[in-house]
Amino acid sequence: MDTSIIFPHLHITLNNVEKGFHIGSFFIAFYGVIIAIGMLVGVSFILKEAKRVGFDEDGFLDICIITIIVGVIGARLYYVIFAWDYYKANPLSAFNIRQGGLAIYGGILAGIASVMVLCKLKKLKFLAVADVAIFGVIIGQICGRWGNFFNREAFGAYTDGPFAMLLPLNAIRSLDDTTAEMMEHITSINGVDFISVHPTFLYESLWNLGLLIFLLFLRKKKKFDGQIFILYLIIYGAGRFWIEGLRTDQLKLWATGLPVSQLLAGLLVVLGTALYVYFIKSGAEVSTVNHEGAKTEKIDQETEKEQEN
């Protein structure tokens, strides 16, 4: 199997891009390592942000740990449900996540549900918590997409555009992810057949990086609880709707043939926009107390202004 990945129009050739490494006889996939790194970086940022706005770090760490576990289960369940034609013949393989198959939307939905329940139990304001926690999600997504790069998966349709990516045909996850157009434009290099595709993993990672920068800039100027979280739903949903339309490995809504993640992305944009308009028109503001008397950033800013005066 050839292990090179080429971006011909960017004049970048990456040789020996392995899918993982061995420690003794145990194989460790880069996909898992990258996801773990994304989780660690995301949680670290969440805890710092939680402290900055007045939340208890230990309480937030509990939320992070539980939500990560629930999120992974949700991501796997989402994937298995919408790829049931594959798993119904061998349902026990649904428990083997080492084979791959985690859908981020399942993780997001399960994570949101988990945070809502935990906020109810801990008597925290969900939208205030969500404004902090969502940064960890974005960081995890930025990192996680590079796992798809190492796995040669989640790529888009044929393209010969400036960002075209050449993948060895014998190294991709499944020939089911290829299209007739890809096969018609196979490029042979040193006897190896390559398909030319959209690097959708890169598109989404860069889209999320831009979103992270925007929300980091906005967080100190937010006008109401939930603004950061809702803007994530809108902007991420818009980008995912476009990118999902390019992919060739879409999970379909059972017998309809409709791409379920693209439909969900569009729904989040509509729902998020409606919520944003509602909160703006209702005059919602940043809460004066997050939980148990902990002050929010709004109070901190007012205190700083008073000290300056």
pLDDT score, position 101: 75
Whether 44 has a pLDDT exceeding 70, the answer reads yes
> Which of the two residues, 131 and 104, has the higher pLDDT score?
131
Confidence band, pLDDT 50/70/90 cuts, at residue 288: low
pLDDT score, position 250: 85
- Sign of the CA dihedral running 133, 44, 199, 252: negative
The answer to whether 275 and 282 have CB atoms below 8 angstroms apart is no
Judge whether 152 is annotated as a binding position.
no
pLDDT score, position 301: 47
Q: Any idea what the Cα angle at residue 258 is, between residues 257 and 262, rounded to 5°?
A: 150
The 10s digit of each residue's pLDDT in 224-283 is: 999 999 999 999 999 999 999 999 988 888 777 788 999 999 999 999 999 999 999 998
Residue 40: CB atoms within 10 Å: 14
Whether 60 has a pLDDT exceeding 80, the answer reads yes
Whether 295 has a pLDDT exceeding 80, the answer reads no
Averaged pLDDT of the chain: 89
Beta bridge partners of 197: 158, 165
Whether 30 has a pLDDT exceeding 60, the answer reads yes
- Weakest mean pLDDT among 105-114, 117-126, 140-149, 284-293: 284-293
DSSP result, the chain = ----EEEGGGTEEE----SEEEETTEEEEHHHHHHHHHHHHHHHHHHHHHHHHT--HHHHHHHHHHHHHHHHHHHHHHHHHHTHHHHTTSGGGGG-GGG----HHHHHHHHHHHHHHHHHHHT--HHHHHHHHHHHHHHHHHHHHHHHHHHT-S-BSB--STT-EEEEGGGSS-GGG--HHHHHT-EEETTEEEEEE--HHHHHHHHHHHHHHHHHHHGGG--STTHHHHHHHHHHHHHHHHHHTTBSSPPB-GGG--BHHHHHHHHHHHHHHHHHHHHHHHT----SBSSTT-B-HHHHHHHHHHHH-
State the pairing for strand pair 187-189/26-29: unpaired
